[in-house]
Amino acid sequence: MSDIKKIKDEFLLRLKKNLDLNQVNQIKTELFGKTGLISSQFKQLGKLAEDERKKFASDLNLVKNELEDLITTKINDIETKEINKKLEKEKIDITLPERPFIQGKIHPVSQVIDEISSIFSEIGFSVEEGPDVENEYNNFTALNTPDNHPARDMHDTFYLDDAKELLLRTHTSPVQIRTMLNNKPPFKIIAPGRTYRSDSDQTHTPMFHQVEGLHIDKKINMGHLKGCLNYFIKEFFEVDKIKMRFRPSHFPFTEPSAEVDIGYEIKDGKIVIGEGDKWLEVLGCGMVHPNVLKNVKVNPDEFQGYAFGIGIDRLAMLKYGINDLRAFFDCDYRWLNHFGFDPIDVPTNYRGLSR
């Protein structure tokens, strides 16, 4: 029997046994390593006579391929078995019952802020934000509020230091200052957010929400202010007509200043916005005072405009028939479940603001 046949028979026998990966690799080296049996056989080729060489080479190649294939198959089998064993051990137990799924609700205040942002974005306003902790300058001085103004009083304002330099902003108006100091005119922004005053009763909470509006450009006048607010109130309350009146008022940062009332009536015990002979105050507004513009390095001879501040909580109460302001901040899950909104139901001007 030739050497080649002997090698073949011996190794086919050995490879048939139950082997582990190490043992198969060992056999692989014995055959195909540098000094392996098959490799050594190839080295003999040169010593053979020409007529023998061809047959020898062809026999040797056949055996080489056969053994090689067998070894590869064997290694693959062993590896697959190992993976399967692992999978078996690491199987995830999916028989556990799922955890209860509770869907949250959007708070009416958040919903109304989204509605307001959507309405104003439709007519070119962008949304700005400012911090709840403000400095005295942005909250009062830059807004033309004199030193002796009652709003500066400790009874009204939460100061955060003895020097009265830091405070919780008492309105969203300082965002006007921040926006104008950091950018160049024109400005057309709204700024919704939290505001704080030392006040607490059925209609006042120490923390509440406002949205500020500011539109500064060349030749902006009170007609623009009226048109803008008229559009907003109609869109917000989703009515075609609205009765609205401007009542003269005073704010240090606007001249002239006005408060805006909207008409309403009570029908079947429910408040109906837009008609009727009763009046509800909803916001403060006016033409931005030249001193404010000077404070933020905007030339009042070139640029003018209007500003307004609206109480968001009040609007939410009116629109959604909520009658106690304090409930907004009680964090009562049952209340939120009743008055809250579906998280997926994002208000847009096209799909509808509220449902």
Could you list the residues that contact ligand DAH (CB under 6 A)?
171, 173, 212, 251, 254, 284-286, 307-309
Q: For the CB of residue 340, give the shortest distance to ligand DAH in the complex, in Å.
A: 27
H-type alpha helices, 140-187:
174-182
Q: For the CB of residue 240, give the shortest distance to ligand DAH in the complex, in Å.
A: 27
155 φ/ψ sector (left φ>0, alpha ψ -120 to 50, else beta)? alpha
Q: For the CB of residue 295, give the shortest distance to ligand DAH in the complex, in Å.
A: 14
Q: Are 309 and 110 in contact (CB under 8 A)?
A: no
Q: Whose CA is closest to 314, among 246, 261, 243?
A: 261
Q: For the CB of residue 342, give the shortest distance to ligand DAH in the complex, in Å.
A: 32
Bridge partner residues of 55 (DSSP): none
Backbone phi, psi, residue 67, to 5° = -65, -40
Backbone phi, psi, residue 97, to 5° = -70, 145
Q: Which residue, 119 or 211, has its beta carbon nearer to ligand DAH?
A: 211
H-type alpha helices, 94-156:
108-121, 136-139
Q: Which residue, 199 or 238, has its beta carbon nearer to ligand DAH?
A: 199
Q: Which residue, 263 or 284, has its beta carbon nearer to ligand DAH?
A: 284
Q: Which residue, 41 or 173, has its beta carbon nearer to ligand DAH?
A: 173
In whole angstroms, what is the distance from residue 259 CA to residue 251 CA? 10
Q: For the CB of residue 331, give the shortest distance to ligand DAH in the complex, in Å.
A: 25
In whole angstroms, what is the distance from residue 55 CA to residue 293 CA? 103
Q: Which residue, 107 or 171, has its beta carbon nearer to ligand DAH?
A: 171
Q: Which residue, 286 or 347, has its beta carbon nearer to ligand DAH?
A: 286
Q: For the CB of residue 133, give the shortest distance to ligand DAH in the complex, in Å.
A: 17
In whole angstroms, what is the distance from residue 223 CA to residue 219 CA? 11
Q: For the CB of residue 326, give the shortest distance to ligand DAH in the complex, in Å.
A: 20
Provide the pairing of β-strand 278-288 with 254-267. antiparallel
Q: Which residue, 140 or 341, has its beta carbon nearer to ligand DAH?
A: 140
Q: Which residue, 193 or 347, has its beta carbon nearer to ligand DAH?
A: 193
- Residue with nearest beta carbon to ligand DAH: 309
Q: Whose CA is closest to 143, among 172, 183, 106, 100?
A: 172
Bridge partner residues of 201 (DSSP): 204
In whole angstroms, what is the distance from residue 261 CA to residue 256 CA? 16
Q: Whose CA is closest to 206, among 218, 215, 194?
A: 194
Q: For the CB of residue 344, give the shortest distance to ligand DAH in the complex, in Å.
A: 33
Q: Which residue, 125 or 308, has its beta carbon nearer to ligand DAH?
A: 308
Q: For the CB of residue 197, give the shortest distance to ligand DAH in the complex, in Å.
A: 9
The amino acid at residue 270 is K
CA-CA-CA-CA torsion for 18, 20, 23, 29, nearest 10 degrees?
Answer: 110
Q: Tokens standing for 284?
A: 């403060």
